[in-house]
Chain A
Amino acid sequence: MVEFRNVSYTYPSGQQALNRINLKIDDSEFVFVVGANGAGKSTLIKLLLRELTATEGEVVVNGFNLSTMKQRKVPKLRRTIGVVFQDFRLIPNMTVYDNVAFALRVIDAPLKYIRARVPYVIQLVGLTAKAKSYPNDLSGGEQQRVALARALVNDPQLIIADEPTGNVDPARSFEIVELLQAINECGTTVLMVTHQHELVRYFGGRIININAGAVVFDEVIGGAYDESASEESAEEFSGGLA
């Protein structure tokens, strides 16, 4: 569960990024966060990851009150969150398997668990055949799937996807979102930040629009997405994205 209570954030330079935001995202929700560049989306993510601390108000994520949280507890918070970035942030000299396993190794997971969990997650994102490949040998969409597998491997309560389709070709963008939706259907809360409005219109759901540091729109809309005809619709919508 994510909750923002009257949250404001002002950078040391004096620039106010967020202004008295109130927001509640329940467990197992799928939320799109949209907004123009500089609207405050990145600040919102940084607050969720406790990279920044709200200058006013309270941020609660997965039961952690980030406003009062001690710095040494931050790793514990982050173990409940999976993060996917636009630029993938994979380690080039590690194979797909090692990139995914890395997320478990650094939290001191048992080797037996790593050996069982990593192939399972790689299979979930459809990359079993590429487990021994290096990131540079993969397409953008495949790299993002690896990043998604890495975010998923810790079995997080919340996945934050920051522009996950930004570096992926339009057709693959739909696959990424479908994958995120499949993850969401298993009970993981997903917060996806994007400025690709076509994607949002296509998939629909809860949309939060941030503008000039304030939530200007927060409603559930119906999408054009229909599982039975998703491929056709995706083709049609991807034309709009290109």
Chain B
Amino acid sequence: MRLNSFNYLVKQGFSGLWFNRVNSFASLCVVTISLLMVGISILTSYNINNMIGAIESRNEVMVVIQDGTPENNVTLLGEQLGQNPNVFEVNFFSRQQAWEEMQSDMSEKEKALFGDEYFDYIPLPDTYRIRVSDIGELSETVAEISKLDFVESVQSPNDFADILIGIRNLCAILFSAITLSLIIVCFVIISNSTRASVYARRREINIMRYVGASKSFIEIPFFVEGLVIGILSAGIAFGLTWFAYNEVYTMLSTDVDMFQIFGLTALIPFETIAVRTGIAYLICGIFLSAIGTVVSTRKHLNV
């Protein structure tokens, strides 16, 4: 295609946007909202996964060894624990180490009280402290470990892990449903907008057809319209996300104690994901708007 023709078609696309500004604005709004919802769902899932990852790496499962277990059996148990596919770290923690750790956390009064009473006998068991690769399989792993010989009990943060996994799954389902619904709504709105645009330009399109304009030549201005809406929507959605994310990030990292359980690193700063988010918005915006416009143009034009 010649440069002057390309310029002409791009100009037609822009004039189409202005000519159908009400519909264009509606498309812009709906694509922006759709992108925002998609963005929020992805960023939320991303952060929840990150938090779960942080919990996985910080939370230990404590395997309590039966009192009086011979040393070689304790070693054998350690090897068996290491063979479990969901266990990536196994550390032996003797009763002496546990006692020292406990005393280090005690106040002077507590030390005086417990130190005298239990001086000759440490009331804590020998343990293995293990870390799991996938917190989602924690219950199964705990059940398997409980069956091993010389295991007195297994202590794990099962309930908390279950809550987080539940939230992650719920978010995934909820956001998928919202995203899918919005994509459908988006296509319907774009289709209506395109139909109005085709109707407004029916005279030109009719003449174009009679003088032998190719199908792509007729479609390009509509594609340009869609492309511009897609890029603008992506830009607006990106800006809004940046602003909102930083607000939430600041609020959660300073005001909400719960999030300090995971540490600040559990929430990802927007700067580290800005480029990926921007590219994702751009691709989604172009896909939703430009491709949606072309598909509906073909439907309404009948060239």
| Inter-subunit contact A106/B2 (CB<8 Å) | no
| Chain B binding surface SS class | helix
Contacts of A81 in B (CB 8 A): 212
| Inter-subunit contact B211/A107 (CB<8 Å) | yes
CA distance A37 to B102 in the complex (A): 104
| Inter-subunit contact A49/B212 (CB<8 Å) | no
| Inter-subunit contact B215/A103 (CB<8 Å) | no
A102 located at the interface, meaning its Cβ lies under 8 Å from any Cβ of chain B in the complex: yes
Looking across the interface, which residue of chain B has its beta carbon closest to that of A83? B210
Instruction: Among B2, B204, B213, B217, point to the contact of A91 (Cβ < 8 A).
Output: B204
| Inter-subunit contact A150/B211 (CB<8 Å) | yes
| Inter-subunit contact B210/A105 (CB<8 Å) | no
A111 located at the interface, meaning its Cβ lies under 8 Å from any Cβ of chain B in the complex: yes
Contacts of B218 in A (CB 8 A): 106
Contacts of B8 in A (CB 8 A): 105
Looking across the interface, which residue of chain A has its beta carbon closest to that of B207? A89
CA distance A80 to B204 in the complex (A): 19
Among A6-14, A69-77, A206-214, the stretch in contact with B:
A69-77
- Contact digits for A44-79, partner B, Cβ 8 Å, 1 yes 0 no: 000001000000000000000000000010011111
The distance from the CB of A223 to the nearest CB of chain B, in whole angstroms, is: 29
| Inter-subunit contact B204/A79 (CB<8 Å) | no
Instruction: Among A72, A77, A83, A106, point to the contact of B217 (Cβ < 8 A).
Output: A106
Number of interface residues of A (CB under 8 A): 22
Contacts of A150 in B (CB 8 A): 207, 211
CA distance A91 to B208 in the complex (A): 11
| Inter-subunit contact B211/A78 (CB<8 Å) | yes
Instruction: Among A103, A108, A110, A154, point to the contact of B207 (Cβ < 8 A).
Output: A103
- Contact digits for A78-111, partner B, Cβ 8 Å, 1 yes 0 no: 1111010000010100000000001101111011
Looking across the interface, which residue of chain A has its beta carbon closest to that of B3? A111
From known contacts A105-B5, A108-B1, A108-B5, infer whether A89 and B211 are also in contact, taking CB-CB under 8 Å.
Answer: no
The distance from the CB of B11 to the nearest CB of chain A, in whole angstroms, is: 11
The distance from the CB of B53 to the nearest CB of chain A, in whole angstroms, is: 53
Contacts of B207 in A (CB 8 A): 89, 91, 102-103, 106, 150
- Those of B50-100 within 8 Å (CB) of chain A: none
From known contacts A78-B210, A91-B204, infer whether A111 and B217 are also in contact, taking CB-CB under 8 Å.
Answer: no
Contacts of A102 in B (CB 8 A): 204, 207, 211
| Inter-subunit contact B212/A79 (CB<8 Å) | yes
B107 located at the interface, meaning its Cβ lies under 8 Å from any Cβ of chain A in the complex: no
Q: Which residues of A contact B (CB under 8 A)?
A: 49, 72, 75-81, 83, 89, 91, 102-103, 105-108, 110-111, 150, 154
29 CB contacts below 8 A, A to B, read: A49-B210, A72-B215, A75-B212, A75-B213, A76-B212, A77-B212, A78-B209, A78-B210, A78-B211, A79-B212, A80-B212, A83-B210, A83-B211, A89-B207, A91-B207, A105-B5, A105-B8, A106-B211, A106-B212, A106-B213, A106-B217, A107-B211, A107-B213, A107-B217, A108-B2, A110-B2, A110-B4, A150-B211, A154-B211
Given contacts A76-B212, A105-B8, A106-B207, 6 further A-B contacts (CB under 8 A): A78-B209, A105-B5, A106-B208, A106-B212, A107-B211, A110-B4
